[in-house]
Amino acid sequence: MHPDPEENLWQDYIAQSYFSSNYGRGLAGWLMRKGHVELERDFHPGARFEKVLEVGAGEGVHLPFVRHSFSEYLLTDKNISALERVRFSLPPGVTMQVEDSLNLSFPDHVFDRVIAAHLLEHLPHPHLALREWYRVLKPGGVLSLILPCDPGVAWRLARCFGPRARARSTGINYDYWMAREHLNSIYNLLSYIRFYFDFRREIFLPLRLPLPDMNLLYVCTITV
């Protein structure tokens, strides 16, 4: 039996190469940015959410795409190293805090919007995460999600290009780490989302047909 790969190598790769590998030039980068743009399509500069919570924010990739105004925008992540990388470039009104997205420290009904971009597929109990995010939202608040259509046919095909090749060129076994990172299939996640929430706008990218196998990303805006 082969030994486990060194986790430090994967963490270093994520820290140094995640943004460039997933948001750089090429079709993969365009599509990833398109997902964030689509998540903000319902909003405009005249819209306002007083208090916004982003869970699993990492290095704050989604923040530059936000179109509406806000009084407070809280970036949270369980990984303090990711947050530390954006500490000195935060715009006014944006703060950061270490939080476990499955067990938030906030009281009930305090946020007008909760954003989770490319997070739910990583969590061991996604149904509990959805309930936790719902708990901290005010009535009438908005839950915003981006998910990969993994393991759909189009997603598996796209893995043959882009980030996988770049990871392998640095000695990283991309498929192994994706198997460990992406714990939940898009089919299971859709079942949870559609069971819990009636008022939602769903978009599949890039083809927009409501078929995970034919698309790479799922974007969802939920009004609670």
Q: What's the pLDDT tens digit per position in 164-173? A: 777 888 888 8
| pLDDT, average across residues 172-195 | 93
1 in a structural domain: no
Give the residues across from 137 on adjacent strands: 111
Give per-residue pLDDT as tens, 26-67: 777 888 999 999 999 989 888 999 999 999 998 889 999 999
Q: Determine the pLDDT at residue 27.
A: 74
Q: Determine the pLDDT at residue 19.
A: 67
Domain hosting residue 56, numbered range: 7-223
Q: How many residues does the chain have?
A: 224
pTM for this entry: 0.93
Q: Is the per-residue pLDDT at 22 higher than 80?
A: no
148 in a structural domain: yes
Q: What CATH number has the domain bearing residue 126?
A: 3.40.50.150
Helices 27-39, 7-23: axis angle to 10 degrees equals: 80
DSSP string of 70-109, one letter each residue: EEEEEEEES-HHHHHTTGGGPPTTEEEEE-BTTB--S-SS
170 in a structural domain: yes
Distance of CA 50 to the CA centre of its chain: 21
Q: What gap in Å lies between CA 80 and CA 58, rounded to an integer?
A: 9
2 in a structural domain: no
Q: What does the block give as tokens for 115? A: 């954003």
CB atoms within 10 A of CB 144: 24
In total, how many domains does the chain have?
1
Give per-residue pLDDT as tens, 93-152: 999 999 999 999 999 999 999 999 999 999 999 999 999 999 999 999 999 999 999 999
| pLDDT, average across residues 173-187 | 91
Average pLDDT, the chain: 90
Q: Determine the pLDDT at residue 17.
A: 64
Q: What does the block give as tokens for 224? A: 């609670």
Query: Are 101 and 126 contacting, i.e. CB atoms less than 8 angstroms apart?
Result: no
Query: Are 93 and 48 contacting, i.e. CB atoms less than 8 angstroms apart?
Result: no
Q: Determine the pLDDT at residue 153.
A: 94
DSSP string of 5-68, one letter each residue: PPHHHHHHHHHHHHHHHHHSSSHHHHHHHHHHHHHTTT--TT-EEEEEEESS-TTTSSGGG--S
* Range list of β-strands (E), the chain: 48-54, 69-77, 94-98, 111-117, 137-148, 200-205, 217-223
Q: Which of 19-23, 71-75, 88-92 has the highest mean pLDDT?
A: 71-75
Q: Determine the pLDDT at residue 25.
A: 67
- pLDDT-derived band at 14 (thresholds 50, 70, 90) equals confident
Q: What does the block give as tokens for 45? A: 């500069």
Please state, for a pLDDT cut of 70, what percent of the chain lies above it. 94
